[in-house]
Chains A and B, each alone.
Chain A
Amino acid sequence: MKKYTFTEKKDTRSGFGAGLSELGKSNPNVVALCADLTGSLKMDAFAKDHPERFFQIGIAEANMIGIAAGLTIGGKIPFTGTFANFSTGRVYDQIRQSVAYSGKNVKICASHAGLTLGEDGATHQILEDLGLMKMLPGMVVINPCDFNQTKAATIAIASHEGPVYLRFGRPTVPNFTPADQKFEIGKAVMLNEGTDVTIFATGHLVWKAIEAGEQLAAQGISAEIINIHTIKPLDNTAVINSAKKTRCVVTAEEHQMNGGLGDSIAQLLARELPTPIEMVAVNDSFGESGTPDQLMTKYGLDAVNIVEAVNKVLKRK
């Protein structure tokens, strides 16, 4: 098992803020909109440095999505920022008609996704956003795993022409990917080559997959670990090649099982290469208040759950 280390734990939303700040300096067409959550989204540096290109919309997310769509007419590249729940479910029809169907170059940037939002509870813990967004034709869906990757993804999506959903979170997590990484939309990242099983993980579950890989190695199980930062378009080649090699698969994500990463991979494998698969995800349930760690444990999204899923899927091989 390849050794991964980190010097610092950082929140992915700060990676977004850092990426946006850099874009502010490098790309004069980038504009940012926020619905009264500038601090939470770490957009304050951009707002301070480029007040003429920052739009404080107020608590009116539907209006924010519409204004963002309009700003693309005239060549701007708008980045909207609010919590994941208010970035998707709250404004689904606005995104569908004014952004996706209209083919507008809007970047919907969503923080506090999933259970790790913590104490605010289920009203805010959206676990359906990846599914909602990936169903929209033409929408790119990205869920990076740490600070560095979120920063790189933020910068990369500015040069992609078309609508993008970028999902990140609130808690600090190990910042282990290279600061100078090149982020390629739709390209899976091989973290560990293995032979017995493949773990496909996204977002906060990527580090947990690495922890699980270490525990599995101690048990003599060789796990291939792949970071799927882009849910859509899915890196079909990477998924199929790895499944061909290991012949069993575990997926891991902070999302409902319905509509998430596991669902996309199962769909692909069912069509191309039927393979036993287990999914670490929330199983048709809302979240609740608690600390992020408590919630990840209670809802079965820890390294130990990935290890369990691997042991289960190995028996089905």
Chain B
Amino acid sequence: MASTAELERIVSQVRRDIVRQVHAVNSGHPGGSLGCAEYFVSLYFEIMKHNPSNFTMDGKNEDLFFLSNGHISPVFYSVLARSGYFPVAELATFRKLNSRLQGHPTTHEGLPGVRVASGSLGQGMSVAIGAALAKKLNKDTSIVYTLHGDGELQEGQIWEAAMYASAKKVDNLISTVDMNGQQIDGSTDQVLPMGSLRAKFEAFGWDVMDLEKGNEMGSVVATLKKAKEHTGKGKPVMILMKTEMGNGVDFMMGSHKWHGVAPNDEQLAQALNQNAETLGDY
């Protein structure tokens, strides 16, 4: 069991990894990545039962994670590397020619820790349901996790999957929505207001939990632990996680503008100043 302080130290390094990856190639998605840093660190360093040093596609008797909003690959790659799936130095290859760290995550180059390609939004929940069903057939009692963007929920396939998961009692599934309220063209309320997502997922038969403070490590860990206790009870579990896009870098917070823009040299220096190097930069 890691302490909250220890996990927060990892988050600080992960934030540095995110902005440095994106800065180096002047492309990528820092905003959503930063907002989900606490979630990823809790999942990979505290919550999931997994085996980073010996990655297998099937992940038998391991918990599995699927990133449906593949554009936040910088946080995914940082946490995979920092938890031991591949050398941290490889983060320097992000989005470069011949890299395993493609712009959006993929299995194609064989990067350990990735089990399906994502990037085209809306597909991850279906894939996770399939993996959860395979676990049930294999009498494997581990859990399948997914993460989605809130804008991503505008895709119809999400709701096909949500309807299926509850109807067929896929109760070894914990999905989380990154409720940062932002997408590319503006806030989700400007682009396409989605009303009450709690009411919608409840109506779709899910066990819904609110995580009001998705950037507070203690709350994230506690909610994920609670969610785990809610599995195996006949319903898929949904965590509606409120976060701040760009969290941890002051000038990136508060708008959709940093969804997919890289910081310049000066902005990078500022961002790094705000987040201490705790585990050593790659």
Contacts and interface: CB of A to CB of B under 8 A. Distances in A.
A126 interface: no
B147 interface: no
Contacts of B239: none
A103 interface: yes
A74 B131 contact: yes
B118 interface: yes
Interface stretch (B42-50, B156-164, B182-190, B267-275): B156-164
A97 B120 contact: yes
A97 B118 contact: yes
**Prevailing SS type, chain A contact patch:** helix
A57 B130 CA distance: 11
A220 interface: no
Contact of B161 (A66, A93, A101, A102): A66
Contacts of B125: 66
B106 A70 contact: no
A74 B140 contact: yes
A53 B138 CA distance: 11
A102 B108 contact: yes
Contact of A69 (B127, B135, B163): B127
B9 to A, nearest CB: 32
Interface string B57-94: 11110001000000000000000000000000000000
Interface string A52-66: 110101101011111
B133 interface: yes
A15 B157 CA distance: 31
A255 interface: no
Interface string A86-110: 0000000110111001111000000
Given A75-B134, A94-B157, A102-B107, A66 B118 contact: no
User: B117, B124, B127, B130 — which one has the most chain A CB atoms within 10 A of its CB?
Assistant: B130
Given A52-B137, A63-B157, A74-B140, A69 B164 contact: no
A66 B157 contact: yes
Contacts of A141: none
B1 to A, nearest CB: 29
Contact of A62 (B124, B140, B156): B156
Contacts, number: 119
A240 interface: no
Contact of B58 (A52, A58, A65, A75): A75
Contact of A70 (B108, B120, B129): B129
B129 A103 contact: no
Contacts of A71: 130-131, 133-134
Nearest to A73: B131
Nearest to B107: A102
A57 B116 CA distance: 20
B128 interface: yes
Contacts of B119: 97
A10 B122 CA distance: 40
A73 B164 contact: no
A80 to B, nearest CB: 11
B133 A66 contact: no
A53 B128 contact: no
A197 B194 CA distance: 63
A70 B161 CA distance: 12
Contact of B116 (A64, A70, A75): A70
Given A66-B126, A102-B106, A74 B138 contact: yes
A36 B57 CA distance: 30
A252 interface: no
Given A65-B126, A66-B127, A66-B130, A60 B117 contact: no
Contacts of A72: 130, 134
B123 A60 contact: no
B114 to A, nearest CB: 9
Contact of B120 (A58, A65, A69, A93): A93
Nearest to B68: A66
Interface string A35-59: 0000000000000000011010110
Contact of A63 (B57, B126, B137): B126
A56 to B, nearest CB: 9
Contacts of A93: 120, 123
A62 B131 CA distance: 16
A257 to B, nearest CB: 30
Contact of A73 (B106, B108, B123, B134): B134
B132 interface: yes
Interface of A: 31, 52-53, 55, 57-58, 60, 62-76, 78, 93-94, 96-98, 101-104
Given A62-B122, A71-B134, A74-B60, 18 more contacts: A55-B133, A60-B157, A60-B160, A62-B157, A62-B160, A65-B126, A66-B125, A66-B130, A66-B161, A67-B161, A69-B126, A70-B131, A71-B131, A74-B59, A75-B134, A76-B137, A96-B120, A103-B108
**A-B interface, 4 closest residue pairs, ranked by CB to CB distance from nearest:** A70-B130, A66-B126, A74-B134, A60-B160
9 contacts: A31-B137, A55-B133, A57-B164, A66-B125, A70-B133, A71-B131, A96-B120, A102-B116, A103-B107
